[in-house]
Amino acid sequence: MSTTDRRVRETFVELADTLVDDYDVLGFLDVLAHRVVELLDVDACGVVLADHHGTLSLVAASTEETRLLELSQLQNAEGPCLDAFHGGRPVSMEDLRAGDERWPRFAPAAREAGFLAVHALPMRLREVVVGAMNLFAAAPGGLPADSMALGQAMADVATIGILHERTVRQQGAVVGQLQAALDSRILVEQAKGVLAERLSVSVDDAFALLRGHARSSNSKLRDVAAAVVDGAITELRA
């Protein structure tokens, strides 16, 4: 078994391990975003989920630049993640230098952020689409078919995790779970800002500290973020 094959297997085991009664949705999606970058040879990944109104919100991003780009995409209601979510199909733009006609606001913003290609994969189970996973590359070009298939498989696993083995008829429970994830994301962003200012580090480094502390203490990312914002955790170090 090659190193890549072994890492793919380990990643799916890692993701499957989160499918328990009280799993950490936010931590789960953070793992997903970073493993996608590692395994698919892309430069960044973002994950957006729909709330109970069907409005997309950002819940995970592998870098701060990606987070800002995703937020811009959602605020402008234009871009690949919205197309993939509403259409329920993968969306690709292999060269964003030719993307201004399709996405007049998103394409220039993506180029300014350092990306020249994007691929969006729907997070879908049967007819239910809960969000989209966005893959960004600094160089133009498409992804190999096997990489796209692996990315979609990871998005499918994430969707199953989010729905948490509930049926389509249990939408009330699903909506509550997604809303909790969106609320947790806001708290994590606050904690990142607190740490970045307190330690004079970048926002990405602040998030790495949060994530590392959550894993080393076997805590939920949301709980660590709350403790940082409340001042209960003050000993994190760069």
> Using CA atoms, how far apart are residues 80 and 85, in angstroms rounded to an integer?
8
For residue range 36-59, what is the model confidence (pLDDT) as tens digits?
Answer: 898 888 999 999 988 777 788 888
Average pLDDT over residues 128-132: 90
- Cβ atoms of 178 and 50 closer than 8 Å: yes
Contact yes or no for 59/132 (Cβ under 8 A): no
pLDDT of residue 13: 65
What phi, psi does 93 have (nearest 5°)? -135, 105
pLDDT in tens, 171-229: 555 555 566 666 777 888 888 888 888 888 888 888 888 888 888 888 888 888 888 88
- Count CB-CB contacts under 10 A for residue 3: 7
Given a contact cutoff of 8 angstroms between Cβ atoms, the answer to whether 88 and 121 are in contact is no
CA 34, distance to chain mean position in Å, is 8
CATH number at 3-168:
3.30.450.40
Coil vs helix vs strand at 129: strand
Residues in Cβ contact with 78 at an 8 Å cutoff, skipping those fewer than 6 apart: 103, 104, 105, 106
Q: Give 81: exposed, middle or buried? Use CB within 10 Å, 0-12, 13-18, 19+.
A: buried
**Measured distance CA(163)–CA(29) in Å, rounded:** 13
Residue 210: per-residue pLDDT: 84
| Strand, helix or coil for residue 128 | strand
Q: Model's pTM, two decimal places?
A: 0.68
DSSP-assigned beta bridge partners for residue 124: 129
| pLDDT exceeds 60 at position 11 | yes
Please determine, for residue 31, whether its predicted confidence score (pLDDT) is greater than 70. Answer: yes
